[in-house]
Structure formats: C-alpha cells, structure tokens
Amino acid sequence: MGYIVIGIAFGLLLEKAGYNWVWALGSSVFVLAGSMQFVLVGLLAQQVPLYTVLITTLLVNSRHLFYGLSFIEHFKKMDWRRYYMIFSLTDETYAILTSTEKESELMFKIAILNQTYWIIGSVLGSLMGSFIPFNTAGVEFAMSALFIVIVVEQWFDEKNRVSSIIGFICAILALLIFGSEHFLLAALGATLVALLLRIVK
C-alpha cells in the first residue's frame, strides 16, 4: 500500500513538470521503474537528449539484473507470467518476494497488486496536482525515504551483508570524488562493476 503514497508523490512531481495524468498513467503502465520514474521527471523537464535517458535508465536500473538472477528458477516455472514478472520486478516487489513463500500464483498476485497500487497513486497524485495547488518542495524525497526503509529491513534480514557494504562504500567514494550533483551514475557504475567482479570470482 505504500506504493500508493509514493505514486502520489510521483504524480505530483510529474504534473508540476507540465505532464498531465495521461503521462502518469502511461509511464506507470509501460515504464514501471519506481525510482527511475522520479529521475525521468527531471530528465523530461530538462528535455535532455534521448541517449542520456537511455544511459541513465541503464545505470539506475542495473540493480534489477541482480534481482532477476536470484529469481530465474522461480520465473521459469511461471509459463507466460514469467515475462510480466521480469517487467514488474521493482525494488519493493523484490523485497516482498524475497521474504515470502515462493509460490507462483502468490508471486504473480503480489507483482500485479504492486503495479496497480503504483498506477492508482501516480494518477491520483497527478489529478490532485492539477486541481489543488501543492508546494512540492521535498516531495521527491518520498522515494529516498522508501529506499531507506527497504535498506534497513534488508540489512536486518541479510545474513551476508557484503553486497550492501559494497554499495555503501561505492556511494560514499563517488560522493566524495564527484560531489552531490554528479555522484549517482558513478556510484551505480562502480557498484555494478564491483558486484559483477564478486560474482565472477
């Protein structure tokens, strides 16, 4: 249900950037990338080149490669539903699936419900933003707050915290080297390389 609240925040920001509820609906149905959708609002508002959008999306969502790897065997058993599961494997869905019974029907329902909540929230937020004047200062922190909650929960659930520690170290180093305006892509790239090297070893 938290996805409704986060979706509302996304819808508000998208509306403020000049994109109405149709854009909120379309991006939530066809993109469904959670944090990347928040980043996409800024990219759309700045009208950045398409190649920048592609590279940013690849780096921001590269973590989904690791999510998918841990569910390959489960998804293979899900007939046509496997394609939707691959598409819908967001951070929050992954967090729920890792802590629940690995039963195909249940996993499929969780994924559908999560996307439905996100769609409802984003459209609702966009409509609210078009009818009610909102001060959206700080709203973009909603996704960061959700990530913090997920990271804390995963930290306490993990038996091996090496991956989390790698991510923290890469983020801190990138922040120190590139500054707060440019550290994100560097941190994601460094984390991806470090995790891939760990898998190869």
Compute the distance between CA of residue 103 and CA of residue 145 in angstroms, rounded to an integer.
Answer: 29
Tell me the pLDDT tens digit for each residue of 90-136. Answer: 888 888 888 888 899 999 999 999 999 999 999 999 999 888 876 76
User: What's the pLDDT at 96?
Assistant: 87
How many helices (DSSP H) and strands (DSSP E) are in the chain? 12, 0
Report the predicted TM-score, pTM, of the whole model to 2 decimal places: 0.73
Looking at per-residue confidence, does 65 or 193 come out higher? 193
Tell me the pLDDT tens digit for each residue of 161-189. Answer: 888 888 889 999 999 998 877 787 788 78
Residue 151 in this model has a pLDDT that exceeds 70:
yes
